Amino acid sequence: MSATEPYHADHLAWMVLALDEARLALKTDDVPIGAVVLGPDGGVLGSGRNEREAHGDPTAHAEVVAIRQAAASLRERAQAAGGPGDGWRLEDCTLVVTLEPCAMCAGAIVLARIPRVVFGAWDEKAGAVGSVFDILRERRLNHWVEVYAGVREDECAALLRDFFATHRLG
């Protein structure tokens, strides 16, 4: 796995919000992964959880749901202030997610211009932030991301382990 930045106390608190979202995914029998997008002021612009099972949508990963919601929030704020506001550039924002993003989500992060990602557990099978690939820090791309990994890693990993253990038995 690739080296990451040391994380900060704020990251611990923000991960609690992502864990809360992850637990909500259990209600729809989705894999418990949660995400939040925080604005420059630390306020939540968007939140999401896996909703693939709930909506039958393979792209409804927690990160994508949170990014879409954050972009809509920024667009609404800009329009309320009288500006056009494209909303899709999430510059100065931070994405916090309970599991290392996959290739699809890492691509969405790069395209949304999110400069910081904080994640909990590593994904040895599909992770695209150091485990299998490292899309967020790929120098050939036009945007690079600071990565803070392993934040509340044990809690994030336990939630996933418990979910999959229960589903293997059932």
Q: How confident is the model at residue 65 (pLDDT cuts 50, 70, 90)?
A: very high
The verdict on whether residue 61 carries a ligand-binding annotation is yes
* Interstrand relation of 116-121 and 146-148 (parallel, antiparallel or unpaired): parallel
For the domain made up of 9-168, the CATH class stated in words is alpha beta
The amino acid that residue 110 corresponds to is: V
Q: How confident is the model at residue 8 (pLDDT cuts 50, 70, 90)?
A: confident
Give dist(CA 155, CA 56) in Å, integer.
27
Residue 6 has pLDDT above 60, yes or no: yes
Q: How confident is the model at residue 167 (pLDDT cuts 50, 70, 90)?
A: confident
pLDDT tens-digit series, residues 110-148 = 999 999 999 999 999 999 999 999 999 999 998 889 999
Domain ranges of the chain: 9-168
Q: Which of 21, 51, 63, 100 is catalytic?
A: 63
Q: How confident is the model at residue 170 (pLDDT cuts 50, 70, 90)?
A: low
**Share of residues in the chain with pLDDT > 90 (%):** 80
pLDDT (0 to 100) of residue 4: 66
Is 63 designated active site? Answer: yes
Give dist(CA 16, CA 92) in Å, integer.
21
Q: How confident is the model at residue 5 (pLDDT cuts 50, 70, 90)?
A: low
- Share the mean pLDDT of the chain: 93
The amino acid that residue 151 corresponds to is: V
Q: How confident is the model at residue 168 (pLDDT cuts 50, 70, 90)?
A: confident
Predicted model pTM? 0.93
The verdict on whether residue 156 carries a ligand-binding annotation is no
pLDDT tens-digit series, residues 76-110 = 888 888 876 676 899 999 999 999 999 999 999 99
Give dist(CA 159, CA 162) in Å, integer.
5
Place of tokens 């059932």: 170
